[in-house]
Structure 1
Amino acid sequence: MLAAERRDFLMARLQADGKLVAKEIAAELGLAEDNIRRDLRELAAAGLCQRVYGGALPVSPAVADYATRASVAVSSKERVARVAASLIRPGGTILLDGGTTALAVAAALPHDLVATIVTHSPTVAAALVSHPSVDVYVLGGRLFKHSAVTCGAAAAEAARQVSADLFLLGVTGVHHEAGLTTGDADEAAMKRTLAGRAAETYVLASREKIGAASPFTVLPAAATSGIVTDAPADHPVLHSLSTSGIPILPA
Structure 2
Amino acid sequence: MSKTDHFVSERRALIYAQLLRHGRVLAQELAQTFDVSEDTVRRDLREMAARGECERVYGGALLASGTTVPLKTRMGEMPDRKATLGQAATSFVQDGMIVFLDAGSTNLAIAKNLAVGLKLTIVTNTPAIAAELAGNADIELILIGGRVDPAVGAAIDTTAIRQLELIRPDLCIVGVCGLTLDRGLCADIYEDAVFKRLACETSAKTLAAVTSEKLGAAAAFQVASLSSTLTLVLEEDADRDMIGTLADTGATIHQAVSLSGISSHMQVSKDQSL
TM-score where L is the length of structure 2 = 0.67
> Paired residue for 1:197?
202
- The answer (yes or no) to whether the contact 2:68–2:152 under 8 Å persists in 1 is no
Matched, 1:66 2:81: no
Q: Which residue identity does 1:157 align to in structure 2?
A: R
- The answer (yes or no) to whether the contact 1:91–1:115 under 8 Å persists in 2 is yes
> Paired residue for 1:249?
254
Matched, 1:210 2:215: yes
> Paired residue for 1:236?
241
TM superposition shift of 1:245: 2.5
> Paired residue for 1:147?
152
**Cα shift readout 1:130-162 (whole Å, capped 9, x = no counterpart):** 422101001112211102110121111100100
> Paired residue for 1:82?
87
Matched, 1:104 2:109: yes
* Bigger mean CA offset, 168-177 vs 68-77: 68-77
3-state SS of paired residue (1:222): coil
> Paired residue for 2:62?
47
Find 1:183's aligned residue among 174, 185, 188.
Answer: 188
**Dislocated runs of 4+, deviation >4 Å:** none
- The answer (yes or no) to whether the contact 1:188–1:216 under 8 Å persists in 2 is yes
Q: State the percentage of identical aligned residues.
A: 28
3-state SS of paired residue (2:166): coil
- The answer (yes or no) to whether the contact 2:70–2:153 under 8 Å persists in 1 is no
For residues 235 and 19 of structure 1, what CA distance do their matches in structure 2 show?
21
Find 1:226's aligned residue among 225, 228, 231.
Answer: 231
Q: Which residue identity does 2:148 align to in structure 1?
A: L
* RMSD of equivalent CA atoms: 2.6
> Paired residue for 2:9?
none
> Paired residue for 1:95?
100
Go from structure 1 to structure 2 and tell me whether the alpha carbon gap of 1:113 and 1:140 turns closer, same or farther (over 3 Å shift). Answer: same
**Cα shift readout 1:190-247 (whole Å, capped 9, x = no counterpart):** 0011111211101121222112122121112237422111153543332221223322
Find 1:136's aligned residue among 141, 157, 162.
Answer: 141
3-state SS of paired residue (2:170): strand
Find 2:127's aligned residue among 89, 102, 122.
Answer: 122
- The answer (yes or no) to whether the contact 2:212–2:238 under 8 Å persists in 1 is no
The 5-angstrom pairing of residues 6-45 of structure 1 reads none
* Bigger mean CA offset, 207-216 vs 144-153: 207-216
- The answer (yes or no) to whether the contact 1:111–1:131 under 8 Å persists in 2 is no
TM-score where L is the length of structure 1 = 0.73
The 5-angstrom pairing of residues 164-179 of structure 1 reads 164-179=169-184
Structure 2: tracts of 5 or more residues without a match: 1-16, 24-56, 257-274
